[in-house]
Amino acid sequence: MNEQKLEIVKSKNLKPKPQSDQIPFGRTFTDHMFVMDYEVEKGWHDPRIVPYEPLTLDPAAMIFHYGQTVFEGLKAYRAEEDRILLFRPDMNFQRLNRSSERLSIPPIDEDQVMNHLTELISIEKDWVPSTEGTSLYIRPFIIATETSLAVAPSQSYKLMIILSPVGSYFTGGLRPVTINVEDQFTRAVKGGTGMAKTAGNYSSGYQAQAKAYKEGNADVLWLDGMEKKYIEEVGSMNIFFKINGEVVTPELNGSILKGITRMSIIELLKKWDIPVVERKISVEELYKAYEEGLVEEAFGTGTAAVISPVGELNWLGRKMIINDHQIGELSQKLYDTITGIQTGKVEDRHEWTLEVK
Amino acid sequence: MNEQKLEIVKSKNLKPKPQSDQIPFGRTFTDHMFVMDYEVEKGWHDPRIVPYEPLTLDPAAMIFHYGQTVFEGLKAYRAEEDRILLFRPDMNFQRLNRSSERLSIPPIDEDQVMNHLTELISIEKDWVPSTEGTSLYIRPFIIATETSLAVAPSQSYKLMIILSPVGSYFTGGLRPVTINVEDQFTRAVKGGTGMAKTAGNYSSGYQAQAKAYKEGNADVLWLDGMEKKYIEEVGSMNIFFKINGEVVTPELNGSILKGITRMSIIELLKKWDIPVVERKISVEELYKAYEEGLVEEAFGTGTAAVISPVGELNWLGRKMIINDHQIGELSQKLYDTITGIQTGKVEDRHEWTLEVK
Ligand SMILES: Cc1ncc(COP(=O)(O)O)c(C=O)c1O
Ligand SMILES: Cc1ncc(COP(=O)(O)O)c(C=O)c1O
């Protein structure tokens, strides 16, 4: 993978930018996108920034048939003095390559693509919204493009990065949510693709999602696929519990996504000398601790919401009300610290942010 | 779903047809394809046969991000007197709808689409090759087309049917293959999407496939995802064993695809008064029977090969040589009967074939 010159083709028709506090998630895209191609003989080549435009693919392109694809999700934040910050983007590109390995997709040069991304964002800097809680969502994704119905890794791929301004996840501050503990459907299992950010992991959850919504829940808490006993993660978030003064999160077991927010929270808690452990935790154990009055806080973590306090869990008809549906002290502190770092209001002692020049 | 008029737009540039005995699988497509769209307000609408052409989709089309897609695979065979036969196409469209349900995709009208398919094939009838073992492969598939990054079922879909002439799976007759019993990677687990024909189930197997190839195997035999103990199926085939006079195939447990060849074989065996059972079978039990000299035959079953005799299994370094690497008598009889019915040479007592007029 040799460093290649980035070609830039500017759009002639710039779109109007939406009101930054009224943006539905992931429906509005900026004027430009990043594209790079892979072919076996050439490797990854032709990095370019071009006007955002439709893709043209053969109906037999492999992406439509065998799901060989991976993606990432990160954000650019508008900080004080109009600086634009990315939060640990190196971790996203590392994870993209780990996901690619699982799906037999050739790796990208992480540094090269990260440079191209900052170039893209600097071209689109006016699209980074400024209202509190808003950001520019960044979606890198790779799709298999070979025209063939053979069940085999594609010989060609396309990496694209598209950008979408997004509104605040919580309008009016953090609000604890109710989550259903799914006891039938499975998201992932050891030996499967759970640790990869790949398309099939998401649509496979729609039935469980619909079931959860129907019963008034905002999301699904997945259990392990083998025994339906151990807690894994929420739809697009990792999960943490504060039990009797100790913070517990499921260990990375191959079926859980290694969230970058999760990782950052563990580092912060360690720095703050708050006990934190990554281990197996069964839903039975959690309910037992609850009955003993030991469950103090619960929260989901992910790029979308940063911290999403959990006010209530439902499992096989058993309701768990956490912290009286109120935001926990630790949840709030983590939220404030991370969003503070992301927007440059809190000093970044960890070198987590990367400024887009 | 009201019956809708099929629009037909003929291609002006017909492609040359390939030599029917030299066709690589799934790379050559016919002149026309079938397309139909879905929108929430309209349901499935605008069925049409149009020239085979590239698809244009927004980079944020959901198919590229969350894998909401299902597909089918069946074949049209050229029979005596140039008749063209389909083999149990109703079963494929039933299965397509079952897969769609799992992926939260709205169902199609099976009869309507089957009628449109026969129309398409009659337009493309010259593409159905005639050399023994060849056929016209039919690939119906549905993709989520809404432009949105929200993790939720799409509000719009496209159903397409593309056709590809395919050569003989076995050049020079049936040939037993060697298969690796995968002990690490998992294809599917109860509560997951294993029973659905959806894209993500296939690329998730590429790493195991590569491992198998590297060690000289032609394919992967999957074990259950929970205990890595029970036999499930081969890459794109169900699996049968003849043990001490009885035919055994893994029962449908939610993680195995309900193969139409599998179903047909069970029906034939019952008619022939050959004992056949669908049940859990552990790889340990199979190896024990082998050591006792009771494993008589093994074969994979699927639309691609019909019957693929298994001559050798490899599991954790333990080699099982079946029937001295020779084709079993029952394997051959099943192959001859089913391919005979498919090509009109054997009387179709089950009404399995549908003639395209
Ligand atoms: C399945 C899943 N788990 C967890 C996360 C949280 O990961 P991160 O903190 O990197 O956004 C995400 C979102 O990216 C996800 O899709
Ligand atoms: C995973 C899997 N199992 C089994 C089969 C065999 O099914 P059928 O006999 O309907 O072709 C297929 C192919 O369709 C498949 O993809």
Angle between helices B260-271 and B89-102 (to 10 degrees): 130
Pick the closest to residue B104 from B54, B68, B147, B132 (CA basis). Answer: B68
Residue A24 lies in a domain: yes
In a domain, residue A221? The reply is: yes
User: Is A65 part of any domain?
Assistant: yes
Q: How far is CA A16 from the centre of its chain?
A: 27
The answer to whether the beta carbons of residues B229 and B235 sit under 8 Å apart is no
Output the residue whose Cα is nearest ligand 1's atom 1. Answer: A236
Of B27, B153, B235, the CB nearest to A148: B27
**Whether residues A63 and A192 fall in one domain:** no
Q: Average pLDDT for residues B106-126, to the nearest whole number? A: 98
Q: Are residues B102 and B201 in the same domain?
A: no
A161 and A187 in a single domain? The answer is no
User: β-strand A231-234 against A219-223: which pairing, if any?
Assistant: antiparallel
Half-sphere exposure at residue B261, Cβ-oriented, CA atoms within 13 angstroms: 26
pLDDT of residue A71 exceeding 50 = yes
Do A118 and A221 lie in one domain? The reply is no
Q: What is the mean pLDDT of residues B129-154?
A: 96
Mutate to test the pocket of ligand 1, among A139, A141, A236, A262 (most ligand atoms within 8 A of CB): A236
For A227, name the nearest residue in chain B, comparing CA atoms only. B226
CB contact (8 A) between residue A68 and residue B206: yes
Shortest CB distance from B200 goes to which of A185, A204, A225? Answer: A204
pLDDT band at B3 (very low <50, low <70, confident <90, very high): low
Residue of chain B whose Cα is closest to the Cα of A202: B66
Confirm whether B352 is domain-assigned: no
pLDDT averaged over every residue in chain A: 96
- The answer to whether the CB of A75 falls within 8 A of the CB of A347 is no
Do residues A75 and A129 share a domain?
A: yes
- Residue A194: which domain range? 177-342
Same domain, A130 and A203: no
| Mean pLDDT value of segment A155-183 | 91
Assess if residue B355 is contained within a domain. no
Asked if residue B306 belongs to a domain, the reply is yes
What mean pLDDT comes out for the span A150-170?
94
Q: Are B184 and B139 within one domain?
A: no
Helix, coil or strand: residue A120: helix
* Residue A286 CA to ligand 2 centre (angstroms): 41
Whether the predicted pLDDT of B327 surpasses 80: yes
Say whether pLDDT at A53 is over 80: yes
B186 and B331 in one domain?
A: yes
Cβ of A162 and B59 within 8 Å? yes
Domain final residue pick, B104, B139, B166: B166
Q: What pLDDT, on the 0 to 100 scale, is given for residue A3?
A: 59
What is the structure's pLDDT at B173? 74
Complex confidence, ipTM: 0.97
**Confidence at A168, pLDDT banded by 50, 70, 90:** confident
Q: Which pLDDT band holds residue B168 (cuts at 50, 70, 90)?
A: confident
Instruction: Assign residue A69 the CATH number of its domain.
Output: 3.30.470.10
Measured in degrees and rounded to the nearest 5, phi and psi for residue B181 equal -85, 110
User: What is the least distance, in Å, from the CA of B118 to any CA of chain A?
Assistant: 20
Do B60 and A201 make contact, defined as CB atoms within 8 angstroms? no
Mutation for testing the A interface, residue in B49, B52, B64 having most A CBs under 10 Å: B64
One domain, residues B103 and B26: yes
Judgement on whether residues A288 and A162 belong to the same structural domain of the protein: no
B133 and B217 housed in the same domain: no
d(CA B126, CA B16): 11
> Contacts of residue A68 in chain B, CB cutoff 8 Å?
203, 206
Q: Which residues contact B169 (CB under 8 A, 6 or more apart)?
A: B133, B304, B305, B306, B308
Q: Maximum Cα–Cα distance for chain A, whole Å?
A: 64
pLDDT of B244 higher than 50: yes
- Give which of A71, A137, A203 to mutate to test B binding, by max B Cβ within 10 Å: A203
Higher pLDDT, B19 or A332: A332
Domain for residue B350, yes or no? no
Query: Using a 6 Å cutoff on CB, does residue B323 contact ligand 2?
Result: no
Q: Are B249 and B262 in contact (CB under 8 A)?
A: yes
Of the candidates B218, B241, B40, the residue with the CA atom closest to the CA atom of residue B144: B40
- Alpha-carbon radius of gyration of chain B: 21
Please tell me the number of Cα atoms within 13 Å of A56 on its side-chain side. Answer: 2
pLDDT greater than 50 at residue A1: no
Q: How many domains does chain B have?
A: 2
Q: Is the CB of B73 inside a 6 Å radius of any atom of ligand 2?
A: yes
Of the ligands numbered here, which is closest to the C-alpha atom of A99? 1
Identify any residues that bridge with A219 across adjacent strands, giving them in sequence order: A179
- Same domain membership, residue A19 and residue A128: yes
- For residue A271, the surrounding DSSP H or E stretch is helix A260-271
Query: From the CA of A350, how many Å to the nearest CA of chain B?
Result: 30
Q: Which residues does ligand 1 sit against, CB inside 6 Å?
A: A 73, 233, 236-238, 257, 259-262, 301-303
> Any idea what the Cα angle at residue B31 is, between residues B29 and B36, rounded to 5°?
90
> How far apart are the CA of B294 and the nearest CA of chain A, in angstroms?
31
Summarize the confidence of residues A20-37 as an average pLDDT.
Answer: 90
Q: What is the mean pLDDT of residues B155-161?
A: 98
Tell which of B131, B166, B201 closes a domain.
B166
Q: Closest chain A residue to B201 measured between Cα atoms? A: A66
* Distance from C-alpha of A202 to C-alpha of A219, rounded to nearest angstrom: 13
Task: Give me A207's structure tokens.
Answer: 């039935």
Sorted by sequence, the CB contacts under 8 Å of residue B135 that are 6+ apart come out as B75, B76, B77, B78, B128, B129, B165, B166, B342
* Shortest-distance atom of ligand 1 to CA A73: 14
User: What is the number of CB-based contacts under 8 A between chain A and chain B?
Assistant: 224
Q: Residue A304 carries which side chain, given as an amino acid letter?
A: A
Among the candidates B111, B141, B166, a domain finishes at B166
* pLDDT score of A171 more than 90: no
Atom of ligand 1 nearest to the CA of A264: 9
Say whether B95 sits in a helix, a strand or coil. Answer: helix
* Ligand 2 touching residue B237 (CB < 6 A): yes
Instruction: State the distance from the centre of ligand 2 to the C-alpha of B322, rounded, in angstroms.
Output: 23
Best residue among A253, A261, A338 to mutate for probing ligand 1's pocket (most ligand atoms within 8 Å of CB) is: A261
Contacts of A34 (CB under 8 A, 6+ apart): A47, A48, A49, A116, A117, A120, A140, A159, A160, A161
Model confidence, pTM: 0.98
A-chain CB neighbours of B201 within 8 Å are 67, 200
pLDDT at residue B1 tops 50: no
Which backbone phi and psi does A54 adopt, to 5 degrees? -65, 155
A15: in domain = yes
Within 8 A of B163 by CB-CB distance, chain A residues are none
B149/A141 CB distance under 8 A? no
* CATH code: domain of residue A323: 3.20.10.10
- In this predicted model, what pLDDT tens digit does every residue of A258-279 receive, in sequence order? 999 999 999 999 999 999 999 9
* Residue in A with minimal Cα distance to B154: A203
Residue % of chain B over a pLDDT of 70? 98
Q: Quickly state the pLDDT bin for B174 (edges 50, 70, 90).
A: confident
Rounded Cα–Cα distance for residues B208 and A152 (Å): 11
Q: Kindly tell me if the per-residue pLDDT of A352 is higher than 70.
A: yes
